[in-house]
Structure 1
């Protein structure tokens, strides 16, 4: 790939749709294995500049200067609790504005680079209440002035907390710190606002990464100084171990090879190919790929954090901390899709702050926390991960702490020719649909179609991709070669401004919200949607949604069948166990006969 020009797959954009769909997937998945997205390196430079200057330097200066510290003398204050508090709040501010994770071209935001504030500050955009039938005053799917007001109130509270100097705290002073802490009352207000905002719209809550930062805000508001620091240790370890636990199974080994393939600093095609079983014929993970995933990922993410939590040995603690810091720096360097770069840098610093700056032998061990509060905190932090692994239909993968485990709810959207344009015509949203963004960026609709097929190739390298394509082959038949198939995550980004691989943000309720505004005819807009795998089951459940009708089919498939196949399904679609189908449903075909030789 070049600095300003990307590397393109070996297809003629004008004749893309003359190639059968599964053959396109074969081309794109093989291309991804060697080149990743093929993005121009200027994209990565933009991310680096944002990460270094806006996030790291900006956060450092804000957290130090507003707390009364001289930024030229970091050794004096880097262990001060208020410094870490403000770094977390700075991260939340950037996340909720939409300029941290899920930002820019690697997250499907091409022009503009963000959807966050452009969505949440605009009346009429779609909102997604998590429990509209249960929680009063949350019904409806249209953003109102109330929602915009709540969002602005969150921003104002965050800015106020960052700008104010630390409040006096006797507990902090007894521990030998001079900066005080962020005002607990202000943190209580922030916590309430985030919860209320989240009950009105789960997307805004998850964009703020509320599943991880809200517990920290609660600790800031309600815990004494020493208890707060130990609770923050429990929180970061719960995130690590939850993610590590979720990587057991068949999915995660399929995540690492395509992630490494997209790493911009790894120019060697041979090193990328080594993560696949037998490139180009067999793109299942190789022994090297599995080893990198489960030793460099799963075991490290479980054993090192538990060591940090329980170790009282200085050398062991330092080694474990260095390992986790390197772990997060490596993830950052791969520029994974959804680009959670700020999150990884915060966790790298948090490792040093919590376990080296406040080690257990200095009075910050589990035994130093108020016993009943320790039990309550641990139980609260484990509740959603346990429930989410047992009942993934009830808890999305983010509160379940399954980050980048490969076990996520996913969807592929299929549009009849011309139907996709209705999303631009009838939806109030922060940006044009992704194909239009890319077309404007590269100057060609055909080239934009190639770019979106690259994302389909990436998805097919994961277990869910093989299942999603199998479902759509069964539903669309020969029309699959002429319908436009889109990755649901990227499409959702354009409509609600955020996605982080969370299929719960584009489930059947979200499709119903789109249909209410767009009035698709039966068969014009078909969605294959898959739920995450429960920890005690060997299958995953799926739904087929015809936007004009609703759910028309439910079923399941064996995860092992999806994992065993190639991305392009040379043996045909994997076996699906249909459990229910809407009586009398027959998809209406809208694909025009191919009279031009273009396949469209």
Structure 2
């Protein structure tokens, strides 16, 4: 891999697309195992510059300059200042909401333009996805002028709270008598909190893009809690985020995440180590014992045990060691450049670990039992744990992000299949700020075959995860001539329609399909979607639906997770078994025999 030249799959571009889909998946999955997406290092450099200059230097400069806690280049002056912590959270929310933090750029499926977010959220007529149908005044799937006003108001309220000077409080001075910077004024946080909720009720995409499941509770703590309680509540928040993510890695899915993630890391120069994460490369690229160790010791164990140590430890050296472990953990994730590229989130969490647990140690009066009321502690823990618990038991009711299942492999996922030529109908949608990804690549000067092979790398990536085997099995069952169809990874594809995705299948579920169908008008049998829900923590199955965009749901059923995990990505032994629980009587036969 060069700085400007990527590692393109070693295939004959003239003949590759004529191969059967299974063979294409096999070749691209084997290439991913050694090179990942094969992205030129120039792209990773752009991300690093964005994180370093825009996010880190820009955020610290704004936070210190507006709070008097600077200068920003002297870390010793501001790293443990509460107002800097608050303003870095506000800065992160602002960048996430605009669309220049997570889910940005080529690694997230945004080639030209590289930014989604505000290009969609600030434009009337774009697609809007309400989270709950029963909420009054949220009908429809089209963004209105009201939605734009709410969104722009949200950004403005964040900026105002960020730029305004701090104010001291009695509870702050009681804990830190020498503090002169103060805290963000609680009154300035009311508008961001209210607009966070209103924007989210109108469009779940905005709420999830701004990472409301994590930052909204923090803003509430800033606004209503006295200083010591605020710090302890922030500790509870980050610990529940960590433990929730760790618990979500229980089971069979996460082991399948680690090998393709390591393979995609530009900081892993040794092909031998990448291959070691697979059982018997190139014959068997299911996860190896090393991958399992990395997943459940380096991942699950770290995310469950270390946060508990941080929450209760009063020993300085034990706390320091636990802080170091979590900082390294987040820096490692950053170094792999995972798809959706949540780099800012990981950098912030590394800083928060140091700020909360070293800056305000449990032994200094900031332990979990030092909160002003034990009932307040219970209430905060119950509120923070509600959606993770519900989401693990009923993933159909709670999105992947509020469930705290970040990058755990247990995702709601989908593949989109288009009859020959039908994908072009998506480009007819009005008020859409971006074209289909393959057309974005063509606009950048890619050869048509190269552009198509590049996009097919993403479906090979999906095949390396457990859900991919089940989803491809459904496509082979429902589309006899699938080799001639265009198959797209839904996480990437929906980015060009709504401006954001983060591995969350709830952002491209039936609601999005219906919204697109109302605008593009696919004929029966032209666009087939296979969609699967996350696995509930107490079941061994995943529930799927097959959707014809023109006709609606045509089949429901389940598959055994164990069957999906045991299959090879390209399904050489055929589709995995499915249990059909409901089937539309008039389901059309698509493909060659239609």
Deviation for aligned residue 1:589: 3.1
Task: Give the match for residue 130 of structure 2.
Answer: 129
Does the 8 A contact of 1:172 with 1:178 survive in 2?
A: no
Alignment of 1:251 with 2:243, yes or no, is no
Deviations 1:358-385, CA, capped at 9 Å, x for gaps: 0011110011112121111000000000
Deviations 1:558-577, CA, capped at 9 Å, x for gaps: 00000001001010000011
Instruction: Give me the whole-angstrom Cα distance separating, in 2, the residues matched to 1:268 and 1:77.
Output: 39
Is the deviation greater in 265-274 or in 141-150?
Answer: 265-274
Instruction: Give me the whole-angstrom Cα distance separating, in 1, the residues matched to 2:206 and 2:332.
Output: 28
Alignment of 1:73 with 2:74, yes or no, is yes
Classify the secondary structure of the residue corresponding to 1:420.
helix
Deviation for aligned residue 1:412: 0.2
Task: Give the match for residue 83 of structure 1.
Answer: 84
Does the 8 A contact of 2:69 with 2:84 survive in 1?
A: no
Task: Give the match for residue 217 of structure 1.
Answer: 219
Q: How does 1:358-437 map to 2 (within 5 A)?
A: 358-370=360-372, 371-437=374-440
Deviation for aligned residue 1:590: 6.9
Classify the secondary structure of the residue corresponding to 2:15.
helix
Task: Give the match for residue 47 of structure 1.
Answer: 47
Instruction: Give me the whole-angstrom Cα distance separating, in 2, the residues matched to 1:13 and 1:442.
Output: 16
Instruction: Give me the whole-angstrom Cα distance separating, in 2, the residues matched to 1:361 and 1:225.
Output: 16
Q: How does 1:61-210 map to 2 (within 5 A)?
A: 61-71=61-71, 72-132=73-133, 134-176=134-176, 177-210=179-212
Task: Give the match for residue 459 of structure 2.
Answer: 456
Instruction: Give me the whole-angstrom Cα distance separating, in 2, the residues matched to 1:375 and 1:590.
Output: 60
Instruction: Give me the whole-angstrom Cα distance separating, in 1, the residues matched to 2:182 and 2:37.
Output: 46
Does the 8 A contact of 2:69 with 2:81 survive in 1?
A: no
Is the deviation greater in 522-531 or in 578-587?
Answer: 578-587
Deviation for aligned residue 1:428: 2.4
Task: Give the match for residue 512 of structure 1.
Answer: 514
Does the 8 A contact of 1:417 with 1:590 survive in 2?
A: no
Instruction: Give me the whole-angstrom Cα distance separating, in 2, the residues matched to 1:426 and 1:340.
Output: 29
Q: Aligned match of 1:581 in 578, 583, 591? A: 583
Gaps of 5+ in 1: 593-600
Q: How does 1:21-60 map to 2 (within 5 A)?
A: 21-60=21-60
Deviations 1:51-89, CA, capped at 9 Å, x for gaps: 100000001101111001222433133211111000000
Is the deviation greater in 533-542 or in 172-181?
Answer: 172-181
Does the 8 A contact of 1:332 with 1:341 survive in 2?
A: yes
Instruction: Give me the whole-angstrom Cα distance separating, in 2, the residues matched to 1:568 and 1:334.
Output: 24
Instruction: Give me the whole-angstrom Cα distance separating, in 1, the residues matched to 2:568 and 2:432.
Output: 36
Is the deviation greater in 46-55 or in 176-185?
Answer: 176-185
Instruction: Give me the whole-angstrom Cα distance separating, in 2, the residues matched to 1:210 and 1:310.
Output: 27
Classify 1:111/1:590 alpha carbon distance in 2 versus 1 (closer, same or farther; 3 Å): farther
Does the 8 A contact of 2:17 with 2:449 survive in 1?
A: no
Does the 8 A contact of 1:552 with 1:582 survive in 2?
A: yes
Instruction: Give me the whole-angstrom Cα distance separating, in 2, the residues matched to 1:194 and 1:16.
Output: 47
Instruction: Give me the whole-angstrom Cα distance separating, in 2, the residues matched to 1:57 and 1:69.
Output: 15
Classify the secondary structure of the residue corresponding to 2:114.
coil
Deviation for aligned residue 1:15: 2.3
Gaps of 5+ in 2: none
Deviations 1:182-204, CA, capped at 9 Å, x for gaps: 11111122111000000000001
Classify the secondary structure of the residue corresponding to 1:579.
strand
Does the 8 A contact of 1:130 with 1:199 survive in 2?
A: yes
Instruction: Give me the whole-angstrom Cα distance separating, in 1, the residues matched to 2:242 and 2:258.
Output: 17
Instruction: Give me the whole-angstrom Cα distance separating, in 1, the residues matched to 2:4 and 2:119.
Output: 27
Task: Give the match for residue 565 of structure 2.
Answer: 563
Deviation for aligned residue 1:13: 2.3
Q: How does 1:194-593 map to 2 (within 5 A)?
A: 194-370=196-372, 371-477=374-480, 479-589=481-591
Instruction: Give me the whole-angstrom Cα distance separating, in 2, the residues matched to 1:51 and 1:74.
Output: 17
Instruction: Give me the whole-angstrom Cα distance separating, in 2, the residues matched to 1:590 and 1:453.
Output: 22
Instruction: Give me the whole-angstrom Cα distance separating, in 1, the residues matched to 2:590 and 2:579.
Output: 23
Classify 1:591/1:83 alpha carbon distance in 2 versus 1 (closer, same or farther; 3 Å): farther
Instruction: Give me the whole-angstrom Cα distance separating, in 2, the residues matched to 1:440 and 1:11.
Output: 23
Deviation for aligned residue 1:442: 4.4
Deviation for aligned residue 1:591: 9.1
Classify the secondary structure of the residue corresponding to 1:494.
helix
Alignment of 1:17 with 2:17, yes or no, is yes
Instruction: Give me the whole-angstrom Cα distance separating, in 2, the residues matched to 1:73 and 1:19.
Output: 59
CA RMSD of aligned residues (A): 1.1
Deviation for aligned residue 1:10: 2.0
Does the 8 A contact of 2:482 with 2:591 survive in 1?
A: no
Does the 8 A contact of 1:430 with 1:496 survive in 2?
A: no
Instruction: Give me the whole-angstrom Cα distance separating, in 1, the residues matched to 2:3 and 2:430.
Output: 35
Instruction: Give me the whole-angstrom Cα distance separating, in 1, the residues matched to 2:419 and 2:593.
Output: 6
Deviation for aligned residue 1:167: 1.8
Classify the secondary structure of the residue corresponding to 2:568.
coil
Is the deviation greater in 441-450 or in 564-573?
Answer: 441-450
Task: Give the match for residue 6 of structure 1.
Answer: 6
Instruction: Give me the whole-angstrom Cα distance separating, in 2, the residues matched to 1:107 and 1:415.
Output: 21
